[in-house]
Structure 1
Amino acid sequence: MILVSLAATGAALAQSPARSADPAAAVARLADGAYLGTWKNPSGSVHIRAARCGEQVCGTVVHANDKARADARRGGTDPLIGTQLFEEFAARGPRQWRGRVFVPDMNRRVTGTATLIDENTIRVEGCAARVVCRNQVWTRVPT
């Protein structure tokens, strides 16, 4: 299920170089949009590219393995690659964003939050009706 693999809960992500030992430099990169880039879910079955959509951040599927594509197809989403999973994510703090997440295998949108743990790690959470929530830790795909 894509919700469990959180090809359904994510957002705002990164494209900066390797981790910095200087916390001030890391914060400066975050302020410059270093959270943009390509990220993968824990199993690596789905990759999204986070990019600016006006003043917000969107995440579009750029890679999905056969199982993820089949799950999405069963839910009514075909093709999965090119689908925008993370929509209208806006900053809620220096390391947190909130928006909507499209869950392809359920063909529905849920509330999503993304929290940047460090330059290469983000915790993504999606909640349906603010009752059922799932979260995962996504990692940056090296460029």
Structure 2
Amino acid sequence: MKRSWICASIFSVVATAALADPIGEWRVADGTAHIQISRCGQAICGKIAWLSEKGVDENNPDPRQRKRSLLGLPILNLKPAGDNQWTGTIYNAKDGQSYAASLALRSEKVLLLEGCVNGTNICGGEEWTRVR
């Protein structure tokens, strides 16, 4: 009986550790892109790994960057902010703006992203689904 309890405890710790890791590929809410999240030192970073339609960063405020491909574009830079949560910035290529961002792992397959206009309470959020 004691051995079963120890195995169950170890499984619980391993399952919790897996939950606390957003590293992988995620489908955005509208299904038009996948974001690859990886480690960047103590932080996590995200880049566009797949797009339903190819495009360039045409809305970037820097005219020199408006012809760069969206595929491979870094959009997330987040630092740990507690259990299963990260905060930092996200770049939105649809409007060429960067926003304050928070990311929370809701389950092994669901990630909640929230972006806010810097210095305001104007925010929006969506759930991403794990692809890999």
TM-score (norm 1): 0.72
Q: What residue is the counterpart of 1:90 in the other structure? A: 79
1:101 is the counterpart of 2:87? no
Instruction: Give the CA deviation at 1:58.
Output: 0.2
Contact 1:26/1:119 (8 A) holds in 2? no
- Among 119, 125, 129, the alignment partner of 1:135 is 125
Deviations 1:79-108 (A, max 9, x none): 111111101x11111111001001112212
Q: Which letter does structure 1 place at the counterpart of 2:55?
A: R
Q: What residue is the counterpart of 1:125 in the other structure? A: 114
Q: Using CA pairs below 8 Å that are at least 6 residues apart, which structure has the higher relative contact order?
A: 1
Uncovered stretches (5+) of structure 1, i.e. residues with no partner: 1-21
Distance 1:65 1:113 in 2: 25
Q: Provide the alpha-carbon RMSD of the alignment.
A: 1.9
Distance 1:138 1:53 in 2: 20
TM-score (norm 2): 0.78
1:59 is the counterpart of 2:46? yes
Uncovered stretches (5+) of structure 2, i.e. residues with no partner: 1-10, 61-65
Contact 2:19/2:105 (8 A) holds in 1? no
Instruction: Give the CA deviation at 1:109.
Output: 1.0
- Among 27, 41, 65, the alignment partner of 2:28 is 41
Q: Once superposed, which parts of structure 1, at least 4 consecutive aligned residues long, lie more than 4 Å away?
A: none
